[in-house]
Amino acid sequence: MQALIFDFDGTILDTESTEFQAWQEVYQQHGAELSLDYWLPFIGNNSIPFDPAGHLEKLLGEPLDREGIEHWVQQRKQALNQTLEPLPGVLDYLEAAQAMGLKLAVASSSRRSWVEGHLERLGLLEYFQVIRTKEDVALTKPDPALFLRAAEGLGVLPQETLVLEDSLNGVRAARAAGAFTVAVPNALTRHLDLGQADLLLSSLCDLALWDLLRIARGKQPRSTPRYLESAG
């Protein structure tokens, strides 16, 4: 393995939970409920976008001030996201990868300004040689284009990359690209079946990068994943 490619939302920073929380609060304000089961299929899937304001209108049977609601959600998300720190183990992996001489990239279906803005705020932008976002491809995840472009930018083959992902569509994209794919679900995506990954971790804290690389280098990507989780 020559390179490590991170997904962003839900893998480096748990922005997926804050967006869900903001919309849940809107639904509660209107006496409705936004269930996790309804939300989950749209995580990491920009090809079939979910319209939560439109869904709320259907539940209530009446039009809403969509512009006002979406403005409130954006403000609420921004406030919540500004308090977020990298998910457990992310910084350790970045430092270890840098010490080992591995190349590093981010491949995200989000906007470049969103990804780079958060990475800069967290002091993580300097770790990555390549960042590929929705502006760089015609199709986002589950299409493999983002991971293929990231590998190309790093000057390595997709088969020489290890991908860290949290969503089903991200796992599908990474596998389609030919990368060794590690699923690390967050508080939301742990409810998804991520069994298509080559390896499942409950947290990056469960396995040192060196040990993860030994597993990846010793195995070809496989259809039956191995699951590792902390004993606690």
Q: Which of 9, 143, 166, 198 is catalytic?
A: 9
**Residue at 23: amino acid letter:** W
**193 is a catalytic site residue:** no
* Cβ neighbours of residue 132 closer than 8 Å, sequence gap 6 or more: 105, 106, 107, 108, 146, 149, 150, 153
| 180-212 core/surface letters (b: 16 or more CB in 10 A; e: else) | bbbbbbbebbeebebebbbbbbbebebbebeeb
Does residue 65 have an active-site annotation? no
In the set 7, 14, 166, 206, the catalytic residue is: 7
Rounded CA-CA distance 216/175 in Å is 13
Give me 227's structure tokens.
Answer: 């699951």
Kind and range of the H or E element at 131?
A: strand 130-132
Contact 17, 118 (CB under 8 A): no
Catalytic residues: 7, 9
